[in-house]
Chain A
Amino acid sequence: MNYQFNWSVLWTGQSGGWLWLGVLTTLQIFVLGLALAVILGILSGALRTVPFALLRWLASGYVEFFRNVPLLVWMFFWYFAVPPLLPPVVQDWLFEHGVEFWAGVFALGVYHGARFSEVMRAGIQSIPKTQLEAALSTGLTVAQAYRLIIIPIALRLIIPPATNETLNLLKNSSVALTIGVAELTFQTRQIETYTARALEALVAGTLIYLALCLTISTILAYIESRVAIPGMIAQGQTGEA
């Protein structure tokens, strides 16, 4: 190998600024996508365990449909296929505010919502059935029992598998480069295009991703240690990327 590394391309010229913008965009799309995914995941995960067949069926339909199609296809779907179907007012707003960014947020949020849903369902199912029965016998409705008892307990149980999913969401945010979101991987490629220094740019991007993953898992491990219920750990879905 006779490749001459030239690390200075990472801080001379515009490269440093580009990387910084990339990190910011990655974090923005990650946070918004995560918020949407967690909301959808809690809702649909809880609905999949309620004693009403129609609601269970609807929630399962959502999960099985979105989970079994590649994220990239959803990116294209939300970016190319959905905006033309929206009312003109919404379209105008989207085109002024970066339609690719919002398509990316939706693709990530809806896809990972289906995956969070599986984690949530496993968490709820690991709670002994007597909890729900006890809650109902005190006079709570099913909705109240879920809101006040089942969901709060499940959330404390699922942090380990949810950490895995959160990291997957962060890594998958890189897929948004295909629809033109200027996130970290996109900026890494941009540096490569302008400087022709591919390996330096890729090493920088890789190290930033590893650092982000490490930071997020440290934060979530801290939260887990604060809220864990001793003696109970949920077995969620693992091994899926």
Chain B
Amino acid sequence: MDFQVVTNNFVFLIAQGFLGIGAFTGGTLRLAIPAIVFGFMLGTLVGLARLSPSRWLNWPAKIYVELFRGVPLVMVIFWFWFMIPTLSGKSLPEYSVALTAFVIFEAAYLAEIVRAGIQSVPRGQVEAATATGLAKGQLMRHVILPQALRNMIPALVTQFIVLVKDTSLASIIGYVDLTKAAQIVNNREIRPFEIYLFIAFVYWLLCYSMSRYAKHIERRFSVSHP
């Protein structure tokens, strides 16, 4: 075992592969962070639609969620990889394809988190807010969403951990994330054990510390919410 190969390629793996600073449009975080932000926006809309009393809103939302949760992410990435050129007539770069696929895929999971968060707000809050004369939109914006968001935070951090791990799959369409960067280095150096163990450690460090953080805030919130 010789970890010299890791120190020699450290800058490429971390700057290019993990952060996305370098010659390629790549990077694990450069994909994961916009994907969770946009995915959460879309997920909130889908989650609200699922809770809507109108059948025209809650049925499509339910189908959306069940469809994407029943299909492997690899399959969804291939859909977008082949569908976008077929529908639009021009091919997009890997980054756009991967980001689109992740936003749409993650939104299905995030919608369920949003829905659970909203349903966790006690019914009495809705009744009290209605009694003070708030309209439906005001009720959602000022009373339910702020409390729901707070309840969702641990689940959102957990989902972000999942997303960071899932972004490794963007490498199958050629997006240069940490995993792809490791493949590139390994093709040149042929030291799979050291290289893959090193990137496993990088992922582990990020995901494990975030999961500790999620546990911590969960415990803190559960104290104030008896």
Contacts and interface: CB of A to CB of B under 8 A. Distances in A.
Interface of A: 1, 3, 64-65, 67-74, 76-77, 80-81, 84-85, 167, 171-175, 177-178, 185, 188-189, 192, 198-199, 202, 205-206, 209-210, 213-214, 239-241
Contacts of A77: 192, 196-197, 200
B122 to A, nearest CB: 19
A69 B207 contact: yes
Q: Report whether over half of chain B's contact residues are helix, strand or loop; otherwise say mixed.
A: helix
Which residue of A72, A85, A185, A199 has the most chain B CB atoms within 10 A of its CB atom? A72
A81 B82 contact: no
6 contacts: A70-B165, A70-B203, A73-B179, A84-B193, A173-B72, A174-B74
A73 B181 CA distance: 12
B94 interface: no
Size band of the interface chain B makes with A: 35 or more
Nearest to B78: A202
Contacts, number: 125
A71 B70 CA distance: 18
Interface in B98-155: 109, 112-113, 155
A102 to B, nearest CB: 16
Contacts of A202: 75, 78-79, 82-83
A174 B112 CA distance: 23
Which residue of A70, A71, A73, A188 has the most chain B CB atoms within 10 A of its CB atom? A70
Ranked nearest first, the 7 interchain pairs of A and B with the lowest CB-CB distance are A198-B82, A80-B192, A68-B207, A174-B72, A70-B168, A81-B193, A70-B165
Contacts of B204: 65, 68-69
Contacts of A76: 179, 182-183, 192, 196
B36 to A, nearest CB: 13
A195 B144 CA distance: 52
B112 to A, nearest CB: 7
Contacts of A214: 70
B65 interface: no
B155 A239 contact: yes
Contact of B203 (A73, A171, A188, A198): A73
Contact of A199 (B86, B109, B159, B203): B86
A207 to B, nearest CB: 10
Interface in B189-226: 192-193, 196-197, 199-200, 203-204, 207-208, 211
A160 to B, nearest CB: 15
B186 interface: yes
B67 to A, nearest CB: 8
A177 B74 contact: yes
Contacts of B71: 171, 206, 209-210
Contacts of B112: 239
Given A73-B203, A185-B74, A202-B79, A241 B109 contact: yes
Nearest to A212: B70
Given A68-B207, A73-B179, A73-B203, A171 B82 contact: no
B44 to A, nearest CB: 16
A69 B165 contact: yes
B25 interface: no
B171 interface: yes
